[in-house]
Protein backbone atom coordinates (compact mmCIF):
# COMPACT_ATOMS: atom_id res chain seq x y z
CA UNK A 1 0.00 0.00 0.00
CA UNK A 2 1.02 3.59 -0.54
CA UNK A 3 1.82 5.72 2.53
CA UNK A 4 -0.84 8.22 3.50
CA UNK A 5 -0.86 11.36 5.61
CA UNK A 6 -4.16 12.31 7.31
CA UNK A 7 -4.69 15.96 8.19
CA UNK A 8 -2.68 17.65 10.92
CA UNK A 9 -4.26 17.83 14.38
CA UNK A 10 -3.66 19.70 17.63
CA UNK A 11 -3.43 18.37 21.16
CA UNK A 12 -3.72 20.58 24.24
CA UNK A 13 -1.19 20.32 27.06
CA UNK A 14 -0.73 22.09 30.37
CA UNK A 15 2.86 23.33 30.25
CA UNK A 16 3.44 26.09 32.80
CA UNK A 17 6.67 27.89 33.72
CA UNK A 18 5.28 29.15 37.05
CA UNK A 19 2.46 27.79 39.23
CA UNK A 20 -0.93 29.41 39.70
CA UNK A 21 -1.79 31.24 42.92
CA UNK A 22 -5.32 32.76 42.68
CA UNK A 23 -4.98 34.27 46.16
CA UNK A 24 -2.52 36.82 44.75
CA UNK A 25 -4.95 38.14 42.17
CA UNK A 26 -3.86 38.78 38.55
CA UNK A 27 -0.16 38.59 39.42
CA UNK A 28 -0.77 35.04 40.60
CA UNK A 29 -1.70 33.85 37.14
CA UNK A 30 0.70 31.22 35.80
CA UNK A 31 3.23 31.84 33.05
CA UNK A 32 2.40 29.53 30.14
CA UNK A 33 5.25 27.98 28.13
CA UNK A 34 2.97 26.27 25.62
CA UNK A 35 -0.67 25.38 25.18
CA UNK A 36 -0.32 22.40 22.85
CA UNK A 37 1.34 20.78 19.89
CA UNK A 38 0.51 20.38 16.21
CA UNK A 39 1.08 16.79 15.11
CA UNK A 40 0.44 14.60 12.07
CA UNK A 41 0.07 10.88 11.56
CA UNK A 42 1.70 8.92 8.75
CA UNK A 43 0.41 5.50 7.74
CA UNK A 44 3.39 3.51 6.46
CA UNK A 45 3.40 1.00 3.57
CA UNK A 46 3.30 -1.90 6.07
CA UNK A 47 -0.02 -0.51 7.44
CA UNK A 48 1.50 0.64 10.73
CA UNK A 49 1.20 4.27 11.77
CA UNK A 50 3.46 6.76 13.50
CA UNK A 51 2.83 10.21 14.93
CA UNK A 52 5.27 13.11 14.76
CA UNK A 53 5.37 16.66 13.58
CA UNK A 54 3.78 17.87 10.33
CA UNK A 55 5.17 16.44 7.12
CA UNK A 56 8.16 18.37 5.81
CA UNK A 57 8.43 20.12 2.47
CA UNK A 58 11.23 18.27 0.68
CA UNK A 59 12.93 20.31 -2.06
CA UNK A 60 13.35 18.84 -5.54
CA UNK A 61 16.57 16.95 -6.24
CA UNK A 62 19.67 18.80 -7.36
CA UNK A 63 23.42 18.36 -7.22
CA UNK A 64 23.36 20.04 -3.80
CA UNK A 65 20.28 18.40 -2.26
CA UNK A 66 19.36 14.78 -2.98
CA UNK A 67 19.09 11.39 -1.33
CA UNK A 68 21.36 9.47 -3.70
CA UNK A 69 23.08 9.96 -7.06
CA UNK A 70 23.81 7.64 -9.98
CA UNK A 71 26.63 8.44 -12.37
CA UNK A 72 26.13 7.00 -15.86
CA UNK A 73 28.91 5.74 -18.10
CA UNK A 74 28.98 6.23 -21.87
CA UNK A 75 26.86 3.23 -22.82
CA UNK A 76 28.84 0.66 -20.83
CA UNK A 77 26.01 -1.86 -20.83
CA UNK A 78 24.90 -4.39 -23.40
CA UNK A 79 22.22 -3.08 -25.75
CA UNK A 80 20.65 -5.60 -28.17
CA UNK A 81 19.60 -2.67 -30.40
CA UNK A 82 23.30 -2.02 -31.02
CA UNK A 83 24.99 -5.42 -30.60
CA UNK A 84 23.13 -8.65 -31.51
CA UNK A 85 22.45 -11.06 -28.62
CA UNK A 86 25.39 -13.20 -27.60
CA UNK A 87 25.71 -16.19 -25.30
CA UNK A 88 27.15 -14.31 -22.31
CA UNK A 89 25.34 -10.98 -22.31
CA UNK A 90 23.01 -9.84 -19.51
CA UNK A 91 20.93 -6.67 -19.27
CA UNK A 92 21.80 -4.24 -16.51
CA UNK A 93 19.24 -3.02 -13.99
CA UNK A 94 18.72 -0.10 -11.64
CA UNK A 95 16.50 -0.85 -8.64
CA UNK A 96 14.98 1.51 -6.08
CA UNK A 97 12.91 -0.09 -3.33
CA UNK A 98 11.07 -2.92 -5.14
CA UNK A 99 10.98 -1.12 -8.49
CA UNK A 100 13.32 -2.29 -11.27
CA UNK A 101 14.12 -0.60 -14.57
CA UNK A 102 16.26 -2.19 -17.24
CA UNK A 103 18.89 -0.51 -19.38
CA UNK A 104 18.10 -0.83 -23.13
CA UNK A 105 14.41 -1.40 -22.31
CA UNK A 106 12.89 1.26 -20.03
CA UNK A 107 15.74 3.66 -20.81
CA UNK A 108 18.87 3.92 -22.93
CA UNK A 109 17.71 1.88 -25.92
CA UNK A 110 20.14 2.44 -28.79
CA UNK A 111 22.64 4.16 -26.49
CA UNK A 112 24.34 1.11 -24.95
CA UNK A 113 27.25 -1.08 -26.04
CA UNK A 114 29.60 1.93 -25.86
CA UNK A 115 27.37 4.08 -28.07
CA UNK A 116 26.40 6.79 -25.54
CA UNK A 117 26.53 9.66 -24.85
CA UNK A 118 26.38 9.43 -21.07
CA UNK A 119 24.31 12.61 -20.68
CA UNK A 120 21.54 11.21 -22.90
CA UNK A 121 21.48 7.99 -20.88
CA UNK A 122 21.22 9.97 -17.65
CA UNK A 123 18.33 12.02 -19.05
CA UNK A 124 16.41 8.88 -20.01
CA UNK A 125 17.18 7.20 -16.68
CA UNK A 126 15.80 10.19 -14.77
CA UNK A 127 12.65 10.18 -16.91
CA UNK A 128 12.13 6.47 -16.24
CA UNK A 129 12.54 6.91 -12.50
CA UNK A 130 10.02 9.76 -12.41
CA UNK A 131 7.30 7.36 -13.56
CA UNK A 132 7.34 5.75 -10.11
CA UNK A 133 5.62 7.25 -7.11
CA UNK A 134 7.49 8.79 -4.18
CA UNK A 135 10.69 9.11 -6.22
CA UNK A 136 11.84 12.32 -7.92
CA UNK A 137 14.87 12.40 -10.21
CA UNK A 138 16.67 15.00 -12.30
CA UNK A 139 19.59 14.62 -14.72
CA UNK A 140 22.56 16.99 -14.80
CA UNK A 141 25.33 16.04 -17.18
CA UNK A 142 26.06 12.34 -16.78
CA UNK A 143 24.58 12.18 -13.24
CA UNK A 144 21.08 11.49 -11.99
CA UNK A 145 20.12 13.00 -8.65
CA UNK A 146 17.31 11.22 -6.82
CA UNK A 147 15.17 12.27 -3.87
CA UNK A 148 12.92 9.89 -1.95
CA UNK A 149 9.58 11.23 -0.69
CA UNK A 150 8.70 8.00 1.09
CA UNK A 151 8.55 8.03 4.91
CA UNK A 152 11.16 5.25 5.14
CA UNK A 153 14.38 6.27 6.88
CA UNK A 154 16.51 4.81 4.08
CA UNK A 155 16.35 4.40 0.31
CA UNK A 156 17.40 0.95 -0.96
CA UNK A 157 19.21 1.20 -4.31
CA UNK A 158 21.11 -1.19 -6.55
CA UNK A 159 22.82 -0.74 -9.91
CA UNK A 160 24.15 -3.90 -11.58
CA UNK A 161 27.34 -4.09 -13.64
CA UNK A 162 27.44 -7.66 -14.89
CA UNK A 163 28.85 -6.60 -18.26
CA UNK A 164 31.71 -4.50 -16.88
CA UNK A 165 34.09 -7.33 -17.77
CA UNK A 166 33.25 -6.70 -21.45
CA UNK A 167 33.02 -2.90 -21.43
CA UNK A 168 35.83 -2.08 -19.02
CA UNK A 169 33.88 -0.05 -16.44
CA UNK A 170 30.53 -0.18 -14.64
CA UNK A 171 27.65 1.48 -16.51
CA UNK A 172 26.10 2.98 -13.36
CA UNK A 173 27.88 4.06 -10.18
CA UNK A 174 26.02 4.85 -6.95
CA UNK A 175 27.03 7.75 -4.70
CA UNK A 176 25.58 8.60 -1.30
CA UNK A 177 24.46 12.18 -0.66
CA UNK A 178 27.79 13.18 0.90
CA UNK A 179 29.65 12.09 -2.25
CA UNK A 180 30.84 8.75 -0.87
CA UNK A 181 31.31 6.17 -3.61
CA UNK A 182 29.17 3.11 -2.86
CA UNK A 183 29.64 0.97 -5.99
CA UNK A 184 32.93 -0.89 -5.65
CA UNK A 185 33.81 -3.99 -7.70
CA UNK A 186 33.38 -6.84 -7.81
CA UNK A 187 30.22 -6.57 -5.64
CA UNK A 188 28.19 -4.70 -8.24
CA UNK A 189 24.92 -6.39 -7.27
CA UNK A 190 24.88 -5.14 -3.72
CA UNK A 191 21.85 -3.22 -2.46
CA UNK A 192 22.80 -0.05 -0.59
CA UNK A 193 20.49 1.40 2.05
CA UNK A 194 21.13 5.14 1.81
CA UNK A 195 20.04 7.16 4.85
CA UNK A 196 17.81 10.05 3.84
CA UNK A 197 19.43 13.44 4.37
CA UNK A 198 16.03 15.04 4.99
CA UNK A 199 13.41 13.71 7.39
CA UNK A 200 9.84 13.14 6.25
CA UNK A 201 8.38 14.80 9.36
CA UNK A 202 9.38 17.95 11.20
CA UNK A 203 9.50 18.06 15.02
CA UNK A 204 6.11 18.65 16.72
CA UNK A 205 5.12 22.31 16.42
CA UNK A 206 4.78 23.97 19.83
CA UNK A 207 1.78 26.30 20.26
CA UNK A 208 2.27 29.39 22.46
Distance from C-alpha of 69 to C-alpha of 175, rounded to nearest angstrom: 5
Give the residue among 145, 143, 160, 161 at the shortest CA–CA distance from 95.
160
pLDDT in tens, 117-140: 999 999 999 999 999 878 999 999
pLDDT of residue 125: 97
- Residue 143 has φ and ψ, to the nearest 5°, of -115, 150
Instruction: Give the SS3 label for residue 187.
Output: coil
pLDDT in tens, 138-155: 999 999 999 998 888 899
- Model pTM? 0.84
Amino acid sequence: MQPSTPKKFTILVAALKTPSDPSRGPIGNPTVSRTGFTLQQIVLPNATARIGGPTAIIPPPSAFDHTVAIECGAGQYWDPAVVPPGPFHYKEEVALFDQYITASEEFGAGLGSLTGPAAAIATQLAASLNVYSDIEAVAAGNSVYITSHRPDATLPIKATADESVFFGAPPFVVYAFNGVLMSVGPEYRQTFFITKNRKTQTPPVSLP
